[in-house]
Structures are given as C-alpha cells and as structure tokens.
Amino acid sequence: MTLHSDVAELLAGAGILDVDVDDAVADEHVRSSAYQRVVSVTASSRSRDRDRAMVATILRDPMEMVSKTAVVALVDRIAMKVTGPAEFRQWSAELLPEIDQLTTEAHREFIRRRIHDWLFYLSIEDGHVPTPAELAKATDWMQRVLAEESTSLAVLALLTESGSTKKTRNIAKDRAGNRKLRTK
C-alpha cells in the first residue's frame, strides 16, 4: 500500500469526498485534518468493526506524529462513547497490536498511557473510588479531567489531597466546596 492509496481508502471509507488526496499526501497538515475527519466519522458509527483496520492504515503514515494524533483522537472519542470500562478494555485490546507497530517508543507509550487513563476514568465513573497509589499512576492530564468533571465527593477529596499538581488540587477543592455532588 502507498500513502496515496491509504489516504484515498480512508477518505472513501468515511464518505469524505471534498479532500484532494494529492494535497493530503503532499502536506501533512492537510492529511492530519483529513485523518481527524475520518476519526470523527468512524467514532460516530455504532459499529466498531472497522476501527482496527482504520488504525492500522493511519499508522502506516510516515509522519508518526500525525498518525499518533489521529489515533489518540479516536481513543478519546471512543472512551466517551462506551458503556463502561469492560467495553473500552476489550475495544482497546484489539488496537494494541496495531499501536505496537509504531517505531517511536514514546508514541506507543503515549497511546498506552491514554488508554490506561481512560480505563481509570471509566472505572471511577462506574463507582470505583481510587486509592492514592492508583491516582498517582494517572497522568496529570487525567487527574485534571477528573478534577473538572467528577461528581464524586470522595474522588474530589482524594484529588484535593493527592492530586499531582497544585492546579488540580485547587480545582478539586473548589468544586468539592461549591457543588452538590454524589457521595460515592
């Protein structure tokens, strides 16, 4: 497969007809934007059957930063769409062999950490109250997401005490004091 045929296949599969394939091949910014549109269409679909093949195709892009960004966007969108941690764990496990094809270890590790963060988030949404040790394994980004979005007083209290950054601790403290939240 060539980059041209990969981009053409992704766009056609998503029903995106207004992107010039030659322009996308020549310019990684155009290609990145096209990948984001493909991810958006794919994530909005009810079926997850094409996700692994789409990720494999995107990850063949010679610009790993472009492909990593698109895969992270898909991970983020699917995490917000699934019914819980078990469904997300199963979905992400199917992608890991494709993610392992990235040549840059930092890119592989970033995607793995993002998946871990979303599993952590989804388990909390499912009622789990993490320990300080579990919280410490979550990235600063995920701790801030939790501080901004969690409705659990127990989670906000944990973030107030053990959040990795002052900003996260302050957001959690303010939200815990200013809102009527669930007690679990």
pLDDT of residue 180: 58
Residue 78 token pair: 């699917």
Residue type, 76: D
Residue 51 token pair: 């996700």
pLDDT of residue 178: 81
pLDDT by position in tens, the chain (length 184): 899 999 999 999 999 999 999 999 999 999 999 999 999 999 999 999 999 999 999 999 999 999 999 999 999 999 999 999 999 999 999 999 999 999 999 999 999 999 999 999 999 999 999 999 999 999 999 999 999 999 999 999 999 999 999 999 999 999 999 865 544 4
Cα(87)–Cα(32) distance, integer angstroms: 28
Domain boundaries, the chain: 3-91
Count of C-beta atoms within a 10 Å radius of residue 16:
14
Cα(41)–Cα(50) distance, integer angstroms: 11
| Beta carbons of 183 and 160 less than 8 angstroms apart | no
